[in-house]
Chains A and B, each alone.
Chain A
Amino acid sequence: MKKRTFLASAAAAAALIAANPALAQDPVKVGFIYVGPIGDGGWTYEHDQARLAVEEHFGDQVETIYQESVPEGADAERALTQMALQGADLIFTTSFGYMDPTINVAAKFPDVKFEHATGYKTADNVGVYSARFYEGRAVQGHIAGKLTQSNKVGYIASFPIPEVIRGINSAYIHAKKANPDVEFAIVWAYTWFDPAKEADAAKALIEQGADVILQHTDSTAPQAAAAEAGNVYTFGQASDMAEYAPMPRVSSIIDNWAPYYIDRVQAVIDGTWTSDNTWDGIGPGMVKIGEISDAVPAEVKAEAEALRDSIAAGEYHPFTGPLKKQDGSDWLAEGETADDGTLAGMNFYVEGITGEIPN
């Protein structure tokens, strides 16, 4: 084909596409930035399931794109900028460490909407959303306190951010209520996703006598390590991790993002999207408690389910006084419940937890 005829036919094709409204109408492009691989079996897996639910719900009206294993920090800005330049209309950034990159990139792309998970900084085109995982942690804590024989519960924490600290506090308060002798051993892995390190952390805790392991990291590696060790109980994190039920995984916290994602994409399609701050728990269904397996005694299971239901109904708040901070100072008086502001910025342990929170 001669160059001139090629150019002519290309122009004709472009005119054809422009003239045909069905072809020219862009679907809404929704981007997702993930901190781990979609096959992590936990956190990122659930976000990707919600992405697929968005695709299924809207069909041709949306196009979704995603990028996996984006490091938190400077590189996230590059990934976000690239996604915005690709024409994304709405971008979900699904890890705490994307907070500042999201704000920075959002300032450069005022027409693109951003939704940041688990953070607290908003802008006109940046909304934040999170789930009240601490409600699920309360249920886990109760079961853990009842199950432990060694009275030592291991906790694999990721980064010292409010969301993780809330989870530790909530689990500890309810484990302590169920079993006054319980102690927590907390290991900070400083990673969201590193299966070998998560497994090593679980092994270190098990070797030192912990017989219940709670995790706030994203992979199923601690479950596998516990299965190998035997006689250790674990809980699924972010995803059901049912493949490790009934032992070691005895229950789980499941993140259910799909309804929220569908809702927000709809808002963009309708042109009604505004920056929001959503924080839902068990009641609205953003947090689910995975089935409590038969490895848990029936009466403990009943108690845990009652706890779950009372939280869902709004009758009970996991942070209800009297509660003291780790240093012994008063925090909540008898019957008082924690306000969302304090919870969102939580940077202290409650009384009874040993060790310090890293800075």
Chain B
Amino acid sequence: MFGSIDPLVLIASLMVASTPILLAAMGELVTEKSGVLNLGVEGMMIVGAVAGFITAVETGSPALGFIAAAVGAAILSALFAVLTLVFLSNQVATGLGLTLFGLGVSSLMGQGYNGVRPPSSPRVTIPGLSDIPVFALHPMVYISLLLVVAVWWVLRSTRPGLILRAVGESHDSAHALGYSVRGTRFAAVLFGGACAGLGGAFLSLVIVPQWTEGMTAGRGWIALAIVVFASWRAWRVLLGAYLFGGVTVLQLNLQAAGVAIPVELLSMSPYLITIVVLVIISSDRRRAAANAPASLGRSFHASS
């Protein structure tokens, strides 16, 4: 029935397809844990995609491309941070504005890069293992997995992680204890921007690989949704991102293999399955609510 699908190749391609969403969602998780709701993920991703693409093409180095993507998107997120943290503008409106701005600025920056081929990135080679598709992917795939572990560990059991969570839970208390609310949030927003930028660059340098205007096509919004459905837990974000990316690739493969499942069902399955699974595992409402940062989306000023 699934004759022409090779399971290992399939797992390898689902890992690759999920990576941009995973990166962007991990960044947003940290941002939201600090109490800032940044709806500009889509804009930061696409700026990362174009910045990484241009740098990789001009320097010939995909690694420099990824660094530039992280820096570029972080600069964009710094704009958001200044507006919302210093000038106390509304986070929702500013985040939406950031998305529109990012889409526009990326299409401006990308003029002249349509149809250009980026340098191809080397794949990881581990002696003895690289014949297995799952162990011969782009390094960024493994970096994104390490990132999940790092974010989980830092948030759970380190001092900076505790401070970040304290700021997100109750900025007034954190401030009273002498922690810098603004500084912590600024750093979290920059981290979120950098991660979104990496996700965008992974799209333009590895998955597609090319620059096309609007190429993120809503992946930033998916990342945002996954953070909420995963009730702000790193492992669930990983699960959600891999489910979404995985089912997307799986359904395309099932179609290509001519499996007799109605195509309508297959094409809505990524959304359906991701939401259902995450809602079920987050269904204990009391615990899920306890996990949502209590100060999420609220502006902080030391005088209040």
- Give me the interface of A with B, judged by CB distance under 8 Å: 36-41, 68-69, 154, 160, 185-191, 193-197, 199-201, 203-205, 207-210, 219-221, 224-225, 227-228, 241, 243-244, 354-356, 358-359
**Which chain A residue lies CB-closest to B5?**
A208
- Give me the interface of B with A, judged by CB distance under 8 Å: 4-6, 9-10, 13, 17, 20, 107, 110-111, 114-117, 120, 203, 207-210, 212-219, 248-249, 252-253, 255-258, 260, 262-264, 267
Q: Tell me if A200 and B207 are in contact (CB < 8 A).
A: yes
Partner of B212, one of A68, A209, A219, A227: A219
| Closest 7 A/B residue pairs (Cβ) | A243-B115, A39-B213, A37-B213, A358-B263, A194-B217, A37-B214, A208-B4
Which residues of B are found within 8 Å of A200, using beta-carbon distances? Answer: 13, 17, 207, 248-249, 252
B231 shortest CB reach to chain A, Å: 26
A214 shortest CB reach to chain B, Å: 13
Q: Tell me if A188 and B267 are in contact (CB < 8 A).
A: yes
Which residues of B are found within 8 Å of A195, using beta-carbon distances? Answer: 203, 208, 210, 212, 215, 217
A207-B215 contact, Cβ under 8 Å, with A188-B267, A196-B207, A200-B17: no
Q: Tell me if A37 and B17 are in contact (CB < 8 A).
A: no
Q: Tell me if B215 and A208 are in contact (CB < 8 A).
A: no
In this complex, the member of A41, A200, A221 whose beta carbon has the largest number of chain B beta carbons within 10 angstroms is A200
Q: Tell me if B267 and A193 are in contact (CB < 8 A).
A: no
How far does the alpha carbon of A160 sit from the alpha carbon of B115 in the complex, in Å? 28
A-B contact pairs, 21 of them (CB 8 A): A40-B212, A40-B213, A185-B258, A188-B255, A193-B214, A195-B210, A196-B17, A196-B20, A196-B208, A196-B217, A200-B248, A200-B252, A207-B5, A208-B5, A221-B208, A221-B212, A224-B208, A241-B115, A243-B114, A243-B116, A358-B264
Q: Tell me if B217 and A185 are in contact (CB < 8 A).
A: no
8 additional A-B pairs beyond A39-B212, A200-B249, A358-B263, beta carbons within 8 Å, are A37-B214, A39-B110, A188-B263, A195-B208, A208-B4, A221-B208, A244-B115, A358-B262
**Which chain B residue lies CB-closest to A224?**
B210
Partner of A197, one of B9, B107, B120, B248: B248
Q: Tell me if B267 and A190 are in contact (CB < 8 A).
A: yes
Which residues of B are found within 8 Å of A190, using beta-carbon distances? Answer: 263, 267
**Which chain A residue lies CB-closest to B110?**
A39
In this complex, the member of A39, A69, A194, A219 whose beta carbon has the largest number of chain B beta carbons within 10 angstroms is A39
How far does the alpha carbon of A194 sit from the alpha carbon of B208 in the complex, in Å? 10
Which residues of A are found within 8 Å of B5, using beta-carbon distances? Answer: 207-208
A208-B219 contact, Cβ under 8 Å, with A38-B213, A219-B212: no
Partner of A208, one of B111, B116, B253: B253
Which residues of B are found within 8 Å of A227, using beta-carbon distances? Answer: 117
How far does the alpha carbon of A187 sit from the alpha carbon of B209 in the complex, in Å? 20
**Which chain A residue lies CB-closest to B265?**
A358
Q: Tell me if A204 and B208 are in contact (CB < 8 A).
A: no
Q: Tell me if A209 and B4 are in contact (CB < 8 A).
A: yes
How far does the alpha carbon of A209 sit from the alpha carbon of B20 in the complex, in Å? 26
How far does the alpha carbon of A39 sit from the alpha carbon of B49 in the complex, in Å? 15
In this complex, the member of B117, B207, B213, B260 whose beta carbon has the largest number of chain A beta carbons within 10 angstroms is B213
How far does the alpha carbon of A191 sit from the alpha carbon of B218 in the complex, in Å? 12
Which residues of A are found within 8 Å of B209, using beta-carbon distances? Answer: 224, 228
How far does the alpha carbon of A201 sit from the alpha carbon of B114 in the complex, in Å? 21
Q: Tell me if B13 and A220 are in contact (CB < 8 A).
A: no
Q: Tell me if B217 and A193 are in contact (CB < 8 A).
A: yes
Q: Tell me if B252 and A220 are in contact (CB < 8 A).
A: no
Partner of B215, one of A185, A210, A219, A355: A219
Which residues of A are found within 8 Å of B217, using beta-carbon distances? Answer: 191, 193-197
Partner of B257, one of A188, A189, A208, A225: A208
Q: Tell me if A355 and B213 are in contact (CB < 8 A).
A: no
How far does the alpha carbon of A255 sit from the alpha carbon of B252 in the complex, in Å? 28
Q: Tell me if A199 and B256 are in contact (CB < 8 A).
A: no
Q: Tell me if A196 and B203 are in contact (CB < 8 A).
A: yes
How far does the alpha carbon of A40 sit from the alpha carbon of B210 in the complex, in Å? 11
A53 shortest CB reach to chain B, Å: 19
How far does the alpha carbon of A210 sit from the alpha carbon of B264 in the complex, in Å? 23
How far does the alpha carbon of A101 sit from the alpha carbon of B179 in the complex, in Å? 54
How far does the alpha carbon of A307 sit from the alpha carbon of B10 in the complex, in Å? 39
**Which chain B residue lies CB-closest to A160?**
B263
A354-B215 contact, Cβ under 8 Å, with A188-B263, A221-B210: no
B21 shortest CB reach to chain A, Å: 10
How far does the alpha carbon of A86 sit from the alpha carbon of B117 in the complex, in Å? 40
Q: Tell me if A354 and B258 are in contact (CB < 8 A).
A: yes
In this complex, the member of A196, A203, A205, A225 whose beta carbon has the largest number of chain B beta carbons within 10 angstroms is A196
Q: Tell me if A187 and B213 are in contact (CB < 8 A).
A: no
B5 shortest CB reach to chain A, Å: 7
